[in-house]
Structure 1
Amino acid sequence: MQTQTTARPRSPLFLLAMLVTLAISCRATPAEAAGKDYAQERGTFKTKLLRRGPSPQEGEVGLKPRGANVVTYRSGDLELTAFVSPVPQDGKKHPAVLFLHGGFAFGGDDWEMTAPLREAGFVVMMPLLRGENGQPGTFSFFYDEVDDVLAAADALARLPGVDASHLYVSGHSVGGTLALLAAQTSRAFRAATSLSGSPDQKGFIVGREDIVPFAVTDAREITMRSPGAFATSFKCPTRLFFGTEEPYFSAESQKTAQRAKKAGLDVQAKSVPGDHFSAVPEALQQSIAFFRAN
């Protein structure tokens, strides 16, 4: 793989479109699957894609962040790439965080975002998902990608020197949404955090129908991609962080946390100072404290 040492900036138009459409999410919520377990629902649901292809966001092929090791992991019949920070070979077991990047493609700036986690002593893995950055597989918009996340978690847990009993999941933006869905699907994680993830995909889709590979009129397809619809399914303590300048996340994040708490789950929505990006450092520091406490 080609070594890349500089961060690749996000497409401003792509990110702006994502943020604008996310702002609509507080106006419309997908049908709630009251009392239903997300993992069980995934076992009986199969997404119906109207078109098959790669991620809608262009991503550089062969990108390798500085200081990361390249590993492969299998998700079904796909062989995918992930980046992992060096695991100390000191004979001890170390806690690890599966961190999911924002957007629908990986960039060097995503890896730099995880620096606080690595400096805090966590082994960090960041997987590339199906259809991203030249990876095989078909982009499905927050659904089959969850299988990749769980497969990457399994690969991380099996690395020599990683403490599988102290495995955590986190992510930013798109990755934050996937972190929530993963925490609702698997008991592999000791705790989970979402940094500006979207609990509701109905609002996300508005104005971005061109990137959605399934029928946007199919409410079930949308519900199966919306963590807020399965708020009672979290299988580990979870925190939903959002910036004080992100009002479009506030209502749905708090609603999700309230429904989970009512069911007796340790789930909270917490605002931190800043916007979609400037809120990340504080959210990461709070994530670190949260992970250390669990």
Structure 2
Amino acid sequence: MVVFIGAKMTSRGWISLDRVKQKAQAQVPAPVVWPPALAPEGDGLCHTVKLNLAQVDKAQEEGIDIDQQRRCITRAAMAEHEMAKVRHAAAGKQHESQRGEQARIEQVVEQQIASGEITLQNLMQARAGKATRIATALLPAAHMPVRSMPEPPSRLFVPMSYQSGDLKLKAFVTPDPGDGRKQPLMVWLTGGDTNSLDDFWSEGPATNDQSASAFRKAGMAMLFPTLRGGNDNPGQREYFWGEVQDVAAAILQAAQLPYVDPARIYLGGHSTGATLALLTATAGLPVQGVFAFGPVDEVSGYGWPVKWDLISPDERRLRSPMHWLHAIKSPTWIIEGSKSPGNINSLDNMCAARKSNKLHCVSVQGADHFSVLQPLTRKLAGQLVMGLPVQLKRDEQL
């Protein structure tokens, strides 16, 4: 009796399952008939017969215009679609040809480098004997009013002076903890007006924390330099030219602090600060690591406050990291969020360029130009303060 009831229940289960399958099959839409049937040759307007709704959706996916009144693909729309496919195929072939030619050029250049026929320069070697003409290309927005130096809490940062050429400039550094130990140091270049500082110590929200405070909270010393023309500093802004010298000078000065470990100095920055950090890396400055959050490959991508087409292509090139990545000697990471807003295209361009094997690219999935900062600086701070190797993936997940 028990067996019989069990069999009966099982049979009902089969019937029920069969009904579910039939219902599911009934709900599956019929496959789209594509391409649609052709209209009679005598129809001067329509290329196809009247489309059903599924075919309308398919046509829209293909980018083909539909006559709304007769709900058909017109002969003109079909002709344009076919021409577009031909153009796309031709463009693809041209792109492949260009990539092949570029690869051949790169191979020849690499062979010449290996044989000593070509000697690659770093950024400062290439700039030797040249002066910037940026003053002739400045827009009115470049002439900023003088801003006084910020006054951070003394428990967090104290003033430090440094000499860059004939300019005496100012910076802010973590005070001496007085414990006799040498600390790793993060030199951080802020975004926006990188030459100046305002409130750089206050932590921002998780979606836009530009303070880089994760490093000092983890136990690292930090240095925030102001640069020529910034705040009440002497000199004029040179927009990625003399500022490279300023950053290098600030680092060399900080390396002499008794509580800083000169073998564990790192350079980081965000946005314009990241571009400057990357340029400094290409100048051959020996630091332990460089972390550039959201730099650009070409400075002409910045729409302010320079009219870049008024200076020579060579001078623009000498400001753009893209052309000097081969000269990087220190481990360097370009980091950017994969979402808009951001400079992910610049990251991709630089990763595809000829570059040093010390350069690493990190696209952070689910983050943008600003939200990438807090989680990644926290992750890096934990690794650096412990003296661990940096562990970041090409496609990093938050």
Give the TM bin, normalised by the shorter chain. Answer: 0.7 to 0.9
Instruction: Work out the number of aligned pairs and report it.
Output: 256
Q: 1:264 aligns with which of 357, 366, 370?
A: 357
> Is the CA contact 2:187–2:251 (under 8 Å) kept in the aligned structure 1?
yes
**Alpha carbons of structure 1 residues 127 and 272: separation in structure 2 relative to 1, 3 Å:** farther
**Alpha carbons of structure 1 residues 272 and 47: separation in structure 2 relative to 1, 3 Å:** farther
- 1:246, distance to aligned residue in structure 2 (A): 3.5
Task: Tell me whether 281-290 or 150-159 shows the greater mean CA deviation.
Answer: 281-290
Counterpart CA distance in 2 for 1:57 and 1:243 is 30
> Is the CA contact 1:68–1:83 (under 8 Å) kept in the aligned structure 2?
yes
Q: 2:296 is matched by which residue type in structure 1?
A: S
- 1:194, distance to aligned residue in structure 2 (A): 0.7
- 1:221, distance to aligned residue in structure 2 (A): 1.4
| SS of corresponding position for 2:128 | helix
| Pairing 1:96–2:185 present | yes
Counterpart CA distance in 1 for 2:309 and 2:231 is 25
Task: Tell me whether 90-99 or 110-119 shows the greater mean CA deviation.
Answer: 110-119
- 1:264, distance to aligned residue in structure 2 (A): 2.8
- Map residues 180-195 of structure 1 onto 2, 5 A cutoff: 180-195=278-293
> Is the CA contact 1:54–1:131 (under 8 Å) kept in the aligned structure 2?
no
> Is the CA contact 1:170–1:176 (under 8 Å) kept in the aligned structure 2?
yes
| SS of corresponding position for 1:117 | helix
- 1:91, distance to aligned residue in structure 2 (A): 1.8
**Alpha carbons of structure 1 residues 118 and 249: separation in structure 2 relative to 1, 3 Å:** same
**Alpha carbons of structure 1 residues 215 and 140: separation in structure 2 relative to 1, 3 Å:** farther
Task: Tell me whether 90-99 or 211-220 shows the greater mean CA deviation.
Answer: 211-220
Match of residue 285 from structure 1: 378
Counterpart CA distance in 1 for 2:150 and 2:301 is 32
- Map residues 139-178 of structure 1 onto 2, 5 A cutoff: 139-178=237-276
Instruction: Let me know the Cα RMSD of the aligned residues.
Output: 2.5
Match of residue 223 from structure 1: 317
- 1:50, distance to aligned residue in structure 2 (A): 2.9
| SS of corresponding position for 2:343 | helix
Structure 2 unaligned regions, length at least 5: 1-108, 110-119, 204-210, 390-398
Counterpart CA distance in 1 for 2:363 and 2:251 is 25
| SS of corresponding position for 1:197 | coil
| SS of corresponding position for 1:281 | helix
Match of residue 12 from structure 1: none
> Is the CA contact 2:284–2:327 (under 8 Å) kept in the aligned structure 1?
no
Structure 1 unaligned regions, length at least 5: 1-33
TM-score normalised by L of structure 2: 0.59
Match of residue 164 from structure 2: 75
Counterpart CA distance in 2 for 1:44 and 1:37 is 14
Task: Tell me whether 69-78 or 48-57 shows the greater mean CA deviation.
Answer: 48-57
- 1:215, distance to aligned residue in structure 2 (A): 5.6
> Is the CA contact 2:134–2:311 (under 8 Å) kept in the aligned structure 1?
no
> Is the CA contact 2:212–2:373 (under 8 Å) kept in the aligned structure 1?
no
- 1:110, distance to aligned residue in structure 2 (A): 5.7
> Is the CA contact 2:185–2:265 (under 8 Å) kept in the aligned structure 1?
yes
Q: 2:388 is matched by which residue type in structure 1?
A: A
- 1:247, distance to aligned residue in structure 2 (A): 6.1
Q: 2:349 aligns with which of 234, 246, 255?
A: 255
| SS of corresponding position for 2:315 | helix
The share of aligned pairs that are identical, in percent, is 28
Counterpart CA distance in 2 for 1:268 and 1:254 is 8
- 1:274, distance to aligned residue in structure 2 (A): 2.7
Q: Deviations over 1:106-148 (max 9, x none)?
A: 1204664131110111110000011111211111111111111
